């Protein structure tokens, strides 16, 4: 369970990735691509910042693996 609570935080995109799938940045990129293809993310949607995304996924901003 993430340390930070984002239940009521206004994020335009909330990816759900399996953090056991390595490298994490590729899993995140795949999720982003799938959400674009499946029209979950529409043109013009503002994505969350790197820091917000890292906090939401309970990752360090510099995570590579």
Q: What is the secondary structure of the chain as a DSSP string?
A: --SS--TTS--S------TTSSSHHHHHHHHHHHHHHTTSSPTTPPPPPHHHHHHHTT--TT---
Confidence (pTM)? 0.72
Domain boundaries, the chain: 24-56
Cis peptide before 23 (omega within 30 of 0): yes
Tens of pLDDT, residue by residue, the chain (65 residues): 455 555 666 677 888 888 788 888 899 899 999 999 999 888 988 888 888 888 888 888 875 65
């Amino acid at each position: 369970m993430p340390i930070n609570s984002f239940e009521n935080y206004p994020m335009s995109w909330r990816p759900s990735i399996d953090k056991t799938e390595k490298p994490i940045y590729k899993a995140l990129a795949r999720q982003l691509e799938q959400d674009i293809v499946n029209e979950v993310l529409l043109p013009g949607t503002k994505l969350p910042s790197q820091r917000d995304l890292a906090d939401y996924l309970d990752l360090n901003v510099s995570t590579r693996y």
